[in-house]
Every structure is written in structure tokens, then in C-alpha cells.
DNA sequence: AGTGGCTCCTGGCGGC
DNA sequence: TGCCGCCAGGAGCCAC
């Protein structure tokens, strides 16, 4: 399922071929993909050239230049065209894929972008959770503000001090905290589980019980785990493929996610599964002990539970020391 | 305000 | 073999 590393992988791949192309037409096969109807999307987006690709959390943003060609269907009441620039925002949600060539036999794309010269970008999305928005650049801040988007993990705002402040006083489990896009943008189920493993923190620990050194481990683990995901071009679990149809490889080095019943790669203990906030949650009960955190009398030296060294994959490390 | 639960949606899977 | 019911999960929405 596309999280920050998967969306970043899509962005980077599209960056090699989309900018400069003219968006000639938008075809909507599934009206539920957008609050805007096909005519509105055409009026807003077509006749413009792709000028850039950005990412905000798990959202992919396609920047479009000023109109320079007639819209595909410039009639009707919906044809109020912006004079200036436009932004298309895409969220892949669970199964969304942007591909240049649909697989033979695949159901019709939820929407298609016809580009010049001679390219078509298909939005395939089996579970139909993905969404498309379109607006003027001036509306972008409101769009994300309305969603209360938290800081980008790789941005300047996501400091250790920020994380400690965000954790403070929260009774919610760490896992739920990490999935909350208002706290940190872009972390989903896979990378939350993997980051908690790397930080040696139990997913059910109350966020507010995390101590300073633990917060430091979590901060580092989040950045390292997300970066590893980007370096491996995402996790191809379920259905993630990039626009060229390539699969990522991060799933091959997962430590705990969907490894229930298998031995922990660090200590050999059986990986367990529980449900937190309605989400399947995977962890190693030995590497991620459920300690009392700040509770009186429960203070132990952090690091006293360092997992024994054992065989581990070449390009992945045991949870941070 | 913060938190938990429900909803959307479909392919895949287990059980009978 | 075939059918039914359940599950996964991101994020918006609602209730407490």
C-alpha cells in the first residue's frame, strides 16, 4: 500500500517523463474518483503543460502551467477556467497505481490523462479508494490545512524537539500516533511497524510514556526506515508498482510487517501480531518489550534489552542500538 | 480536545 | 464445487 516511500518512488519515476508534456484530455471512467465531474476536471486541468511533480505526505501533486491550448471540452457551466496555474492532487490510498500502460485485461482505469506527444497515464485502482483533486495553487494551503497535515519527515520541521512535543501527554498507542497524519505526514502501516521495531518500542506503548532517549531512537528509526523504503523503491505488498510497472524491493527486507509467526531477524523470537486502532500490527515481543515507560519503579537502563546478535540480512540492521 | 469506531471497496481466503 | 462471510487498510466522519 502506498506510503511516503512508494509515493516518492512514483514521483521520481514520473519526474523522468511527465514534465513538459501537454495534458490534452482527462477521461473519467469512475465518477467517485473525484468530487469534480469530468467536465470540471477537463476545464481545470487540460490545455496545460506539466511543470513539476511534488509530494506532500502520501499525496502526489502535479503542477500544471498556464493554459496554452484549448480545453478538451471548453463548454458548459463547469468550464470556468483558471487563468493562472493549476494543481492536480492524487492520493493512491490502498491500491492506486499510475501506469503508462494498463495490464491487458485490467478493468478500465478510473481516470486517464491523454498527454502530448502520444502518451496516456492510467489511474488503476482496484479498491477504488484513491482520489483526484484539482484546484488553483492558491487553494493548496487550505487543502492541506483542512486535513491538518503534520510535518514532512524529511523536512526541517520534523526535529527531535517536534517529535517529543507531539508525543507528550498522548495516551494513544505509539502505533496509532504514527499513523495519524496530523502528527507526521506519510507514515502508514508498514513503515510504522518497521520503525517501531527499529526503535525497539512496543506498538501499544502510550505515546506520552516515551522517554527522551526512546524518542530519539524513534526519530532516527522513522527517518532511517522511510529512507530505506525510498532506497528500495518502495514495498510491493498488495499491488504497488511504479508508473513503468516496476516493483519495489523493500518488502524483501521487512523485519516484522506481515511476518507473523516467523522468527525475528534480530533475535529469532517469533514475530507476533495484534490489532491497534483497527490496523494489523506486527512486532517482536523480545526486541520491543512492553515496558512501563515512565511508570514509577519501572525505570530500567535503556539498552538493557539489546537483542542478541545473530544472522541478519546484509542490507538491513538489527534495531538501532 | 482527544480518542476510538465506523465507513468506503474489492479480491482473496477460509469454512461449510 | 460453490457459496457465504470475513478481512485488509487510508482517511474522513461521527460520537463519546
- Evaluate if the CB of A234 falls below 7 Å from strand B: no
Contact by Cβ (8 Å): A163, A214: no
* Nearest protein residue by Cα to C1' of nucleotide B3: A172
* Angle, CA of A292, A164 and A223, to the nearest 5°: 100
Question: Looking at chain A, how many residues does it have?
Answer: 321
- Evaluate if the CB of A96 falls below 7 Å from strand B: no
User: What's the gap between Cα A266 and its chain centre?
Assistant: 26
Say how far apart CA A119 and CA A304 lie, in whole Å.
57
Is pTM beyond 0.85 here? Answer: yes
**Tens digit of each residue's pLDDT (9 = 90 or more) over A146-190:** 888 999 999 999 999 999 999 998 989 999 999 999 999 999 999
Say how far apart CA A185 and CA A188 lie, in whole Å.
9
- Evaluate if the CB of A173 falls below 7 Å from strand B: yes
- CA A239 to C1' B10 (Å) is 13
Cβ-defined contacts of A66-74 (< 8 Å, 24+): A68/A22, A69/A22, A69/A24, A71/A42, A71/A43, A71/A46, A71/A47, A72/A24, A72/A25, A72/A26, A72/A42, A72/A46, A72/A47, A73/A39, A73/A42, A73/A43, A74/A43
Contact by Cβ (8 Å): A287, A319: yes
Question: Buried b / exposed e across A259-275, counting CB within 10 Å, b at 16+?
Answer: beeeebbbbeeebbebe
% of chain A at pLDDT higher than 90? 59
Q: Which nucleotide is nearest to A146 (CA to C1')?
A: C12
Q: Which nucleotide is nearest to A128 (CA to C1')?
A: B9
Average pLDDT, chain A: 83
The answer, yes or no, to whether residue A110 has pLDDT greater than 80, is yes
- Evaluate if the CB of A130 falls below 7 Å from strand C: no
- Evaluate if the CB of A182 falls below 7 Å from strand C: no
Amino acid at each position: 500500500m502506498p506510503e511516503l516511500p512508494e509515493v516518492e518512488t512514483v514521483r521520481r519515476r514520473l519526474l523522468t517523463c511527465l514534465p513538459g508534456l501537454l495534458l490534452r484530455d482527462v477521461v473519467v471512467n469512475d465518477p467517485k474518483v473525484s468530487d469534480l465531474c469530468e467536465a470540471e476536471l477537463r476545464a481545470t486541468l487540460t490545455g496545460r503543460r506539466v511543470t513539476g511533480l511534488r509530494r506532500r505526505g502520501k499525496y502526489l501533486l502535479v503542477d500544471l502551467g498556464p493554459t496554452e491550448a484549448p480545453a478538451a471540452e471548453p463548454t458548459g457551466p463547469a468550464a470556468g477556467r483558471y487563468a493562472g496555474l493549476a494543481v492536480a492532487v492524487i492520493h493512491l490510498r490502498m491500491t492506486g497505481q499510475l501506469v503508462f500502460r494498463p495490464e491487458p485485461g485490467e478493468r478500465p482505469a478510473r481516470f486517464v490523462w491523454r498527454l502530448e506527444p502520444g502518451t496516456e497515464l492510467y489511474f488503476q485502482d482496484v479498491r477504488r479508494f484513491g482520489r483526484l483533486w484539482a484546484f488553483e495553487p492558491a487553494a493548496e494551503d487550505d487543502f492541506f490545512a483542512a486535513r491538518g497535515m503534520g510535518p514532512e519527515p524529511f523536512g526541517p520541521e520534523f526535529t527531535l524537539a517536534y517529535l517529543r512535543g507531539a508525543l507528550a501527554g498522548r495516551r494513544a498507542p505509539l502505533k496509532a500516533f504514527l499513523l495519524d497524519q496530523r502528527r507526521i505526514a506519510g507514515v502508514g502501516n508498514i513503515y510504522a511497524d518497521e520503525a517501531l521495531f527499529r526503535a525497539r518500542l512496543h506498538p501499544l506503548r502510550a505515546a506520552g510514556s516515551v522517554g527522551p532517549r526512546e524518542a530519539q531512537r524513534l526519530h532516527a528509526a522513522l527517518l532511517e526506515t522511510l529512507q530505506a523504503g525510498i532506497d528500495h523503491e518502495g514495498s510491493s505488498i498488495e499491488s504497488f508498482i511504479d508508473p513503468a510497472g516496476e516493483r519495489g524491493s523493500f518488502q524483501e527486507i521487512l523485519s516484522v510487517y506481515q511476518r507473523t509467526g516467523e522468527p525475528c531477524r534480530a533475535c529469532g523470537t517469533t514475530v507476533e501480531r495484534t490489532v491497534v486502532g483497527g490496523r494489523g500490527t506486527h512486532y517482536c515481543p523480545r526486541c520491543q518489550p512492553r515496558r512501563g515507560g515512565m511508570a514509577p519503579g519501572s525505570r530500567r537502563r535503556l539498552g538493557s534489552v539489546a537483542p542478541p546478535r545473530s544472522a541478519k540480512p546484509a542490507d538491513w540492521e538489527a534495531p538501532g542500538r
